[in-house]
Amino acid sequence: MARLRVTFLGTGTSQGVPRLGCDCEVCTSPDIRDTRTRCSLYIQTPDLCWVVDTGADFRTQCLREKVRQVDAVLITHAHADHIMGFDDLRPFCRHGNTLPVYGSADTLEQLAQVFSFAFHPPKRSPGYLHPEPIVVRGEFKLGNVSITPLELPHGRTISLGYLMKVDGQPWFAYLTDCKTVPLDVERQVAGVRHLVIDALRERPHPTHLSVGEALESIARIEPGEAWLTHLCHDHLHSDLEARLPRGVRVAHDGLVLEMD
């Protein structure tokens, strides 16, 4: 196995693509890359495996990608499209073991309110979800991967991006759900091997990066390769990718990045 293997479980916006009741060219596209479930990642290393976010499509995504092992969970923020599949983590709490869940204090508090039956059960029962909340206050490690949380403005919410380093080298950065990438975050992820960044649509949006805004940030960060995610139904995958500068691609559900 690669030292770091990233599978895009989902790359779509909050309503997913196709959208319910929509007959636009994207929502009716025969290109499988235009079918986008809610944003989530599955990350594998020789030591541990973890997911980033558990949206409403999480169960279907895990079945599609044959996910068998989850040792930890990272949550970016507590918006519905990033957490509503949380209870589908139950199969990964075999024999009643706990599952570490990393996030900001606010995010974990909101998660515990929505899923109080898991965080505050009357008793601990086999076969149910047993989260172990871990407040992220700085760099932490999962196996041999060092993970740095990155605060990103997302409307009235702070979303956490994550920078993943191996042997001190920045290999992977995930910056979804943000209106801007603060300069200090751009400096932290500068030169990262793979950058994944929010790019909702062409038109400006009050809480998400547009494609143009994402490209401006990418130009300053200068990653080895950049991937656009959290796309809505404004974009045909093939049309958008054909217009992007060299080194910038469009992520899609099922895409796998392997790093050694």
pLDDT recorded at residue 6: 98
Q: Is the pLDDT of residue 124 over 80?
A: no
For 258, the enclosing helix (H) or strand (E) is strand 256-259
Give the domain CATH number at 199: 3.60.15.10
Strand pairing report for 225-229 and 4-10: unpaired
- Residue 33's domain spans which residues? 4-259
Letter string b/e over residues 145-158, b meaning 16 or more CB atoms within 10 A of that residue's CB: bbbbbbebebeebe
pLDDT at 80 over 90: yes
User: How high is the mean pLDDT of the chain?
Assistant: 96
Q: What is the per-residue pLDDT for 97?
A: 87
Q: In percent, how much of the chain has pLDDT > 90?
A: 94
Taking the CA atoms of the chain, what radius of gyration do you get in angstroms? Answer: 17
Confidence tier at 183 by pLDDT (50, 70, 90) = very high
Q: Assign 35 a pLDDT band (cuts: 50, 70, 90).
A: very high
Partner residues linked to 254 by β-bridges: none
Q: What is the pLDDT of residue 170?
A: 98
DSSP labels for 173-216? Answer: EEE-S-S---HHHHHHHTT-SEEEEE---SS--SSS--HHHHHH
Position 128 pLDDT exceeds 80: yes
Tokens of 58: 């999480």
What per-residue confidence (pLDDT) applies to 222?
A: 98
Evaluate if residue 248 carries a pLDDT over 80.
yes
- Which band of pLDDT confidence, cut at 50, 70 and 90, is reported for residue 125? confident
Q: How confident is the model at residue 127 (pLDDT cuts 50, 70, 90)?
A: confident
Query: Total domain count for the chain?
Result: 1
